[in-house]
Structure 1
Amino acid sequence: MNKEIIIPVKIAFPPIVDQNCKILLLGTMPGDRSLRLQQYYGHTGNHFWKLIYSLFKQPVDPDYEARKQFLLDHGIALWDVLESCTCEGSLDSNIKSEKVNDFFAFYRQYPALTEIFFDSKKAAHFYLKYVKESKDKNYHLLPSPSGANATKTFEQKLEQWKELLLYIK
């Protein structure tokens, strides 16, 4: 007898954003550990927070609420391209039945967001598949902060992530 495997739908987090943000950092969908913790980039093997704080030569704050405020204090918004999907495990390559966030409404609400940074090729792929590029936005691709992305060292990733500093007030 064939058993059907049911994979639950994953729902992304609301954005971290305010009216002063100019930069939008986009991931694909939070991984399982992040979803359990209810924190963006909650997996300790992910370099996201270390990269962000290293840009400003600061140690990572252990408090999640403080980390969110740190982003906002530097004009950086954080969200995911997908609102929901099914995904066995945490790898972007396993994503199916994806539903994209409503970027049209989001950009109307936050018009100062002009620099859009994708932190993975898969995030850029889904965005460009479902959301048309806008002439009033500039798009940038960063190397994935995932610890599973072993093609670059932390220092190599940081060098490329320094592009964010060009747009920070």
Structure 2
Amino acid sequence: MRVQSFPPIIDERARVLVLGSMPGTASLEKHQYYGHPRNYFWPVLYGLFDEKPDVEYDRRIAFAQSHRFALWDVIATCERVGSLDVNIKEEQPNDIPGLIARYPGIRCLAFNGSKAHDTFLKVFGGDRALASIDRLKLPSTSPVPTPRMRSAADRLEVWRAVLPYMV
């Protein structure tokens, strides 16, 4: 099935652009970034500031933006059955260079997982316009445990690397 990502959530305050691969099925159904209730993204983002996530999605977005985060995906559209990145095929990228040109305050690209990072490098790795922006390959906030990342707390410690970009 062909799936499509959401428009970016960004404003002039943004300093860190969090890039996922493609929203999962639950997120697409809810029309929300990181909409699966077990995804660790919102607990990690709020945890960076020692807070608990708001229940309402609009408040979560406002929180992210007030802390200078922008959200988008590397992939604009792809073929995928289910939610797993391993099932992504025939992906078409979003115009990340164009977004960065419109929002020059972005200082860091924070990749939410390997698929986002690897797809970005495959498509945009040689783009000179993006060369001056720092990149952080962070562990996925997917609830699927890995040998090193078992919980939100594990991910939170690594995600703290974004904090210096917030000033």
| TM-score > 0.5 by shorter chain | yes
Q: Which residue matches 1:122?
A: 115
Partner secondary structure for residue 158 of structure 1: helix
1:148 aligns with 2:141: no
For residue 162 of structure 1, what is the amino acid of its counterpart? R
CA distance in 2, matches of 1:30, 1:125: 16
- Listed one character per residue, the Cα deviations across residues 47-89 of structure 1 (whole Å, up to 9, x for unaligned) are 0000001111111100100100111101110100000001111
Structure 1 partner of 2:28: 35
Who is 2:97 aligned against?
104
CA distance in 1 between partners of 2:100 and 2:77 (Å): 19
Does the 8 Å contact 2:3/2:78 carry over to 1?
yes
CA–CA distance in structure 2, aligned partners of residues 24 and 167 of structure 1: 10
8 Å contact kept, 2:44–2:153: no
Give the % identical residues: 38
Question: For residue 4 of structure 2, what is the aligned residue in structure 1?
Answer: 11
Q: Which residue of 1 aligns with 2:134?
A: 138
The CA RMSD measured in Å over matched residues stands at 1.0
Q: In structure 2, how many angstroms separate the alpha carbons of the residues matched to 1:79 and 1:147?
A: 19
**What is the CA-CA distance between 1:107 and the residue it aligns to?**
1.1
**Does 126-135 or 49-58 show the bigger shift?**
126-135
> Larger C-alpha radius of gyration, 1 or 2?
1
2:93 counterpart of 1:85: no
**C-alpha displacement at 1:121, in angstroms?**
0.6
Give the corresponding residue for 1:5.
Answer: none
> Could you say which residue in structure 2 is the equivalent of 1:4?
none
Instruction: Look up the equivalent residue of 1:29 and give its one-letter code.
Output: M
CA distance in 2, matches of 1:102, 1:159: 30
Matching of residue 49 in structure 1 with residue 42 in structure 2:
yes
Distance 1:114 1:165 in 2: 11
Structure 1 residue ranges, 4+ long, deviating more than 4 angstroms after superposition: none
Measure the CA separation in 2 of the matches of 1:26 and 1:149. 20
Question: 2:63 & 2:136 partners in 1: Cα distance?
Answer: 21
Aligned positions, number: 162
Amino acid at match of 2:18: L
Normalised to the residue count of structure 1, the TM-score between the two structures is 0.92
Q: What is the TM-score when the length of structure 2 is the normalising length?
A: 0.93
Instruction: Look up the match of 2:54.
Output: 61
Distance 2:105 2:139 in 1: 24
Q: Distance in 2 between matches of 1:137 and 1:22?
A: 10
SS at match of 2:76: strand
CA distance in 2, matches of 1:166, 1:130: 27
